[in-house]
Amino acid sequence: MRRSLTFILLLLAYGSTSLAQTEVKELSLWKFSRADNASASRADFDDSYWETVKIPHDWAIYGPFDKEIDKQVVRIEQNNEKVATEKTGRTGALPFIGVGWYRTTLDLPVFSNDKQALITFDGAMSNAEVFVNGVKVGNRPYGYSYFYFDISSYLQAGKKNVVAVRLENQPFSSRWYPGAGLYRKVRVIVKNRENFKHWGHFITTPSVSDNIARVNIRSQVQGENLTVKATIRDAKGNTVAEKVSSERFGNEIEQNITVKNPNLWSPETPYLYTAELKLYQGNALKDSEVVRFGIRQISYSAAKGFELNGKVTKFKGVCLHHDLGPIGTAVNRAALKRQLTILKDMGCNAIRSSHNMPSIEQLELCDEMGFLFLAESFDEWKKPKVKNGYNLYFDEWAEKDVENLVRATKNHPCIVMWSAGNEVPDQWGSDGVKRLKWLQDIFHREDPTRPVTVGMDQVKAVMESGFGAILDIPGLNYRVHLYDEAYQRFPQGILLGSETASTVSSRGIYKFPVVSKPDKTYPDLQCSSYDLEFCDWSNIPEDDFIQQDDKPWVIGEFVWTGFDYLGEPTPYDNYWPSRSSYFGICDLAGLPKDRFYLYRSRWNTKDTTLHILPHWNWEGREGQTTPVFVYTSYNSAELFVNGKSQGIQKKSTQSKLNRYRLMWMDVKYEPGTLKVVAYDDKGKPAAEKTVVTAGKPHHIKLEADRQTITANGEDLCYVTATIVDKQGNPCPNASNRLYFKVKGTGKYRAACNGDATSLEVFHKPTMKAFSGKLVVLVQSSTQAGNMELTVSGDELKEGKLTISTIKE
């Protein structure tokens, strides 16, 4: 008999406190030094010669790349390796190891004994020690954890208050580039002693219908004789419900509020409400918080799988590491939004924060843009994957870290599942089962409304031990050949592809002959974009598509990965200079690879897709077989080479590859025009796409992701620079060196070409193109106006582009 899992819930989004009784100060400007100076914690320490930086900050992203940094001789069990080998790019070959100090001064002129002051960190990489006026107030080892300290008793009224933070990254502490520094926001919150506890609200909706929703608000409070007034407003700011309550259970005041004719949150309609919560002591207003939330209902069951608002929904998801390519791990809202905008166009509806706790900014954007979210906690438990990984801290800190993850983020409507870990070696043996039960119970205690999963790769082991049976949602990383057996052995009646595919490719690179083979390598350290190469533990996308389409009990997948990331350059982790991944559907610059359109043709059911590969510049291959693939939402298409038909291909369930892609395997290359005509189901031409043989590189074409950005000193515009011939055709093999200049109300920030083997640092205003393209990042100043980007290159006509900057 199968166990039915049902979790039904409406959740809210992140609350920001900014009303009269609470002051929130973002600590953005700090002094920074890489020197390990023990006296740097003292309030009277002279930091005048230190560098001034703006938080969020990643000290390591500026390089240089160096193969000796964190060089590891290891056997990666998760990759089925049998012997230890030297890994030189596993953590990105960037200088993240060592100590960094940050110092800043707090300006709190009105602070007094009747106030409480908290300092909050959204993440600090890593082993954070926090000092106020030379006194240590606390520490947090885990670099991805949210944490805060009450610093009220450490402050000196009317005097300069100095905050110092020491961070240290150990060698052999990560499997990818972790970044370094205060890479997420730091804030100081000053409020009355009578207040809402930090992270103290939990809003759910136990019952929902088209006509009515019950919003349950539980608020933890500090102080006596307190009353909470709740006002719920719709997206236009209109009041839709209000309630006042003083009935208290322990430190909690609970309210149930009716919202009529609710607008439900979903990926298609990410509608958000706000709840204004005011705390009174008598007639005195003591604290106020505004919480943005979304009304939605989730359910998991063996009968229907995952349901959102009563509708069966499959996870069309991707895994994302936390680095943002050329700007490293420093959180930037514009960079995150660009990623999500690209994924939305692909038809993606879900994100897995692998293998770490997500940023608040990422969750806010997923709330706003409509993405389901699988929030992950750890890559490691008690048994190590790397020498100095989380195994050192698990016993003391795991419960605290899970508590803070849930408490800080549980009100985001996007989050529909928690992950307690990824491919942990603890999958083996009874001790691992006990650890899983312990962690899952913590998640349930903190949030009884969402299920828990783990990304399991040792599927045979978890079948035998009971590890997989006690999970709320069994998550399988790869192992598609074991899906049927796992479904029969596990009692839940559903499976999740928690990590899938691991197909590898390099944008614009194609290898001949075209073969489907694991761990294929080439002398140029690139992977073929025919999308048939993968790792020996994984598979091509079609293997997962078939599971999703043919088995209703497979509730979805999270592809490894949505974007390339720094570190883990499989299959070239034994080869220098590879220093970033090849797994991405998009490259490190955020440019779509061919595989993007394979997923788009299946996932984006709103728009049509027609994409042709490879490019058609193959000097020296005249007359040789050059297969042509087409990724399309149409079921058939006809290919033409210089007007000569190569025949019509139709999708067919008779073959795994023919089911999802159209292929002409015997095309002989000749320069000219490659054209595909797609036909609708009635056999009529519906769309066409053309690729031509480009001439010599002539000029640079610039295209911005946005023409207008915000003049806040942080906003980014991503400009794609494409080298084209005289007629404007892209030159797919061009590798010219390009140079970047910005004038006006902005500055040059970084560049990235998506080449996993490039050792050019991102922040210098020059870089070689890769496969004819690269991306330039420009950043706004705090002044409104215009900035002009000029991109030039040797023997190329330069490109110019104007971007407007406006005040919010």
Question: What tokens does 365 get?
Answer: 């954007």
- Taking the C-alpha atoms of residue 737 and residue 539, their distance in angstroms, rounded to an integer, is 36
Would you tell me how many other CB atoms lie within 10 Å of the CB of residue 160? Answer: 11
What span, in angstroms and rounded, lies between the C-alpha atoms of 567 and 92? 4
What local confidence, expressed as pLDDT, does residue 111 receive?
78
Question: What parts of the chain have a pLDDT lower than 50?
Answer: 1-20
Burial of 173 (0-12, 13-18, 19+ CB in 10 A): buried
CA dihedral 690, 696, 698, 701 (to 10 degrees): 30
Q: Which domains does the chain have, with CATH numbers?
A: 22-192 (2.60.120.260), 195-293 (2.60.40.10), 313-603 (3.20.20.80), 618-692 (2.60.40.10), 699-806 (2.60.40.10)
CA–CA separation, 328 vs 350, rounded Å? 23
Going from the C-alpha of 71 to that of each of 79, 156, 171, the distances in angstroms are 18, 46, 9
- DSSP secondary structure code for residue 66 in this structure: -
Q: Which helix (H) or strand (E) holds 339?
A: helix 333-346
Give the C-alpha separation, 436 to 446, whole Å: 15
The structure tokens listed for 800 are 């110019």
CA distance 154 to 186: 18
Full DSSP string of 619-682: TT-TTSB--EEEEESSSEEEEEETTEEEEEEE--TTSTTTTT-EEETTPBP-SSEEEEEEE-TT
pLDDT number for residue 18: 41
Q: How confident is the model at residue 8, as a pLDDT?
A: 38
What's the pLDDT at 710? 98
Whether 580 and 89 have beta carbons less than 8 Å apart is answered as: yes
The answer to whether residues 514 and 463 touch, using CB atoms and an 8 Å cutoff, is: no
Name the burial class of residue 745, with classes exposed (0-12), middle (13-18) and buried (19+) by CB atoms within 10 angstroms of its CB. Answer: buried
What residues are annotated to the active site?
423, 499
Q: Single out the residue of 588, 592, 509 nearest to residue 756, CA to CA.
A: 588
* Helix intervals (H) in 347-500: 360-369, 394-409, 429-446, 459-465, 467-470, 483-489
Report the C-alpha gap between 129 and 168 in whole angstroms: 9
Helix (H, G, I), strand (E, B) or coil at 290: strand
This prediction has a pTM of: 0.96
Question: CB under 8 Å to 74, separation ≥6 — which residues?
Answer: 84, 85, 87, 90, 386
Per-residue confidence (pLDDT) for residue 557, from 0 to 100? 98
Strand partners, 105: 162
Burial of 55 (0-12, 13-18, 19+ CB in 10 A): buried
Quote the CA–CA distance of 250 and 253 in Å, as a whole number: 8
> Contact, 59 vs 34, CB < 8 A?
yes
- Return the amino acid letter for 707: Q
Question: Computed from CA positions of residues 723, 724, 728, 732, in that sequence, does the dihedral angle turn out positive or negative?
Answer: negative
Residues 112 and 590: beta-carbon distance below 8 Å: no
- pLDDT at residue number 1: 36
Dihedral of CA atoms 763, 595, 485, 312 in degrees, nearest 10, equals: 100
Asked whether the CA dihedral 446, 451, 454, 455 is positive or negative, the reply is negative
